[in-house]
Chain A
Amino acid sequence: AQSVAQPEDQVNVAEGNPLTVKCTYSVSGNPYLFWYVQYPNRGLQFLLKYITGDNLVKGSYGFEAEFNKSQTSFHLKKPSALVSDSALYFCAVRDLNDYKLSFGAGTTVTVRA
C-alpha cells in the first residue's frame, strides 16, 4: 500500500524567507509524486509533479520540489515566500501500477508580512 507523511501540521515563515514543506512517501514501486495547494473555499490546485528524470522539479508560482529516492522524500521549496503563498499544501503519491492518488494530511503554511 502507498502512503504519504507530512510531518508538520503548520509552517510559519516571514515574507521573503525561504519556505520548505516536508513530505515523505512509501510505495512499492517507482513513485509518481505531486504537490497540490488549497486556498480557502477552493478546490485543490496542481503545483508540480515528479514522474522521472531530473530530481529537481520546477512548478507553478515559483515553487520547486526535490525528489530524494534514498530518503524517500519530496520536499516542496520556494526561495522567497510571499504572503499570498499562505494556504494548505498537500503532497500525494501514486504507484506506477495503481492509478489511485494517496494524499498526506496537509501542511498549513502561513507567511507573515
Chain B
Amino acid sequence: EAGVAQSPRYKIIEKRQSVAFWCNPISGHATLYWYQQILGQGPKLLIQFQNNGVVDDSQLPKDRFSAERLKGVDSTLKIQPAKLEDSAVYLCASSRDRTTYEQYFGPGTRLTVT
C-alpha cells in the first residue's frame, strides 16, 4: 500500500509571495488533514476534509491560507501572501474515515519564508 505523498519536499520563497502544496492520500482514505509543524512544536491541525467537504477549519488563517479537495482525493494547500511566521513543515495525513483512530502522515513540505 502506497503511503501519503506530498510535494514539493522543500520550498523557499520570499515574504508576500504565494506558494502551494500538494497531497495525495492513501487510496480509499476518506479523511484528509493538513497540519502545520513549527520548529520545536507539535503539529497543529489547520484543516480537515471528509471526502471533498470541510469538517474543521477553525485553526486555518483564512485571510491568507486556503485549501481544497475538489474530487475527494488529492488536496492542495495554498498560502497567499506568505509571512515570515509561516516558515514551518506542512504535513498531510489521511485516515479511512473520521472515526478511524490512526492517521497516516506524509513526509511533509518544509517551507522557508525569507
Which residues from A are CB-within-8-Å of B48? 99-100
Which residues from B are CB-within-8-Å of A100? 45, 48, 56
Which one of B12-20, B62-70, B74-82, B101-109 is at the interface? B101-109
| Docked-complex contact A46 and B102, CB < 8 angstroms | yes
Which residues from B are CB-within-8-Å of A92? 42
Interface SS of B by simple majority: loop
| Docked-complex contact A101 and B103, CB < 8 angstroms | yes
> How many angstroms from the CA of A4 to the CA of B43 in the assembled complex?
12
| Docked-complex contact B91 and A43, CB < 8 angstroms | yes
> How many angstroms from the CA of A104 to the CA of B108 in the assembled complex?
18
> How many angstroms from the CA of A99 to the CA of B47 in the assembled complex?
12
The number of residues on chain A lying at the interface, defined by a beta carbon within 8 Å of a beta carbon of chain B, is 22
| Docked-complex contact B101 and A44, CB < 8 angstroms | no
For chain B, which range describes its interface: under 10, 10 to 19, 20 to 34, or 35 or more residues? 20 to 34
Interface SS of A by simple majority: strand
Encoded as 1 (CB less than 8 Å from any A CB) or 0, chain B from 80 to 114 comes to: 00000000000101000011011111111000000
Interface centre among A43, A44, A94 (most CB of B within 10 A): A43
Which residues from A are CB-within-8-Å of B101? 32, 34, 49, 51, 94
Output the nearest chain B residue to A9 by Cβ-Cβ distance. B40
> How many angstroms from the CA of A51 to the CA of B48 in the assembled complex?
22
> How many angstroms from the CA of A46 to the CA of B103 in the assembled complex?
8
> How many angstroms from the CA of A43 to the CA of B55 in the assembled complex?
23
